[in-house]
Chains A and B, each alone.
Chain A
Amino acid sequence: MSPMIAIFTKEILENIRSYRFMILSALLAALMFISILVSYGDYQLRRENYDVLKPQQPNPEKIIIPPTPLSVFVKGIDTNLGRLLQFSALGIDVQLSQQSVNRLFTLFTVPDMLFVIKVMLSLMALLFAFDAISGEKEQGTLKLLLAGGAGRFNLLFGKLFGRFVLVFVPFSILFLVAVAVVSLLPDVQTDRQYWLKLGVIVVSSGVYCLSFTALGILVSTLVHRSATSVIVSLAAWTVFVFVIPNLGIAVARDLATVPPGERVEMQGRLAAIQAIFERIKKEKSGPDKGIGTEMVNQIWGAQREIFESYRPALDGQMRLTRSIVLASPAGALTFLMTDVAGTGFLEDQRLKDAVMLHVKLNFGKYMHMEPGEPGSFTYTRTSFGDVFLLSALTDSLVIVAFALFCIGLATARFAVYDPR
Chain B
Amino acid sequence: MIQANDLTKRYEDGHLALDRLNLNIHPGQVYCLLGANGAGKTTTINLFFNFIEPTSGTATLNGVDCTREPREAKKFAAYVSENVMLYGNFTARQNLDFFTRLAGRRDLKKEDYRLVMRQVGLPEGAFEHRVKTFSKGMRQKLGIAIAILKQAPALLLDEPTSGLDPKAASEFVALLMKLRSEEKAILMSTHDVFRAKEIADVVGIMKEGSLIMERTRKELEHEDLEKLYLKYMEVS
Contacts and interface: CB of A to CB of B under 8 A. Distances in A.
Interface stretch (A7-15, A91-99, A180-188): A7-15
A148 B150 contact: yes
A420 B146 CA distance: 20
B42 to A, nearest CB: 8
Contacts of B46: 420
B106 A148 contact: no
Nearest to B71: A151
Contacts of B52: 418, 420
Given A140-B83, A148-B150, A418 B51 contact: yes
Contacts of A6: 98, 101-102
Contacts of A114: none
A148 B89 contact: no
A143 B103 contact: no
A149 B74 contact: yes
A149 B78 CA distance: 9
Interface in B25-65: 46, 49-52
A77 interface: no
A146 interface: yes
A192 interface: no
A9 B49 CA distance: 24
B81 A143 contact: yes
Interface in A90-117: none
Contact of A141 (B85, B104, B106): B85
A316 interface: no
Interface string B126-168: 0000000000000000010010001000000000000000000
B79 interface: yes
A14 B77 CA distance: 26
Contacts of B50: 146
Given A6-B101, A14-B87, A140-B83, A1 B106 contact: yes
Contact of A147 (B49, B85, B94, B106): B49
A139 B71 CA distance: 23
Nearest to A149: B103
B84 interface: yes
Nearest to A155: B102
Contacts of A140: 81, 83, 85
B40 to A, nearest CB: 14
Contacts of B51: 143, 146-147, 418-420
Contacts of B94: 13
Contacts of A412: none
A181 to B, nearest CB: 35
Nearest to B158: A143
Contacts of A146: 49-51, 74
B86 interface: yes
Nearest to A18: B89
Identify the interface centre among A141, A144, A150, A418: most chain B CB within 10 Å of its CB: A144
Interface string A132-145: 00000001110111
A149 B71 contact: yes
A419 B47 CA distance: 12
Contacts of A147: 49, 51, 74, 77-79
A151 B70 CA distance: 8
A3 interface: yes
B75 interface: yes
Contact of A143 (B79, B90, B150): B79
Contacts of A139: 85
Identify the interface centre among A10, A14, A418: most chain B CB within 10 Å of its CB: A10
Contacts of B99: 144, 148
A335 B75 CA distance: 49
Contact of A150 (B79, B81, B83, B102): B102
B86 to A, nearest CB: 7
A17 interface: yes
A148 B102 contact: yes
B68 to A, nearest CB: 14
A280 B121 CA distance: 108
A218 to B, nearest CB: 21
B153 to A, nearest CB: 14
Interface string A1-39: 101001101100110011000000000000000000000
Interface string A119-143: 0000000000000000000011101
Contacts of A149: 71, 74-75, 102-104, 150
Contact of A148 (B79, B83, B87): B79
Contacts of A1: 101, 104, 106
Contact of B104 (A3, A9, A145): A3
Given A149-B74, A149-B75, A151-B71, A143 B49 contact: yes
A10 B98 contact: yes
Contacts of A151: 70-71
Nearest to A17: B89
Contacts of B79: 143-144, 147-148
A16 to B, nearest CB: 10
A146 B45 CA distance: 13
Given A1-B106, A418-B52, A420-B46, A10 B87 contact: yes
Interface of B: 46, 49-52, 70-71, 74-75, 77-79, 81, 83-87, 89-90, 94, 98-99, 101-104, 106, 143, 146, 150
Interface of A: 1, 3, 6-7, 9-10, 13-14, 17-18, 139-141, 143-151, 418-420
18 contacts: A6-B98, A13-B90, A14-B90, A17-B89, A140-B83, A144-B84, A144-B146, A145-B102, A146-B49, A147-B49, A149-B104, A150-B102, A151-B71, A418-B51, A418-B52, A419-B51, A420-B46, A420-B52
The 9 nearest A-B residue pairs measured at CB: A140-B85, A147-B79, A6-B101, A149-B103, A147-B49, A148-B102, A6-B102, A151-B71, A10-B98
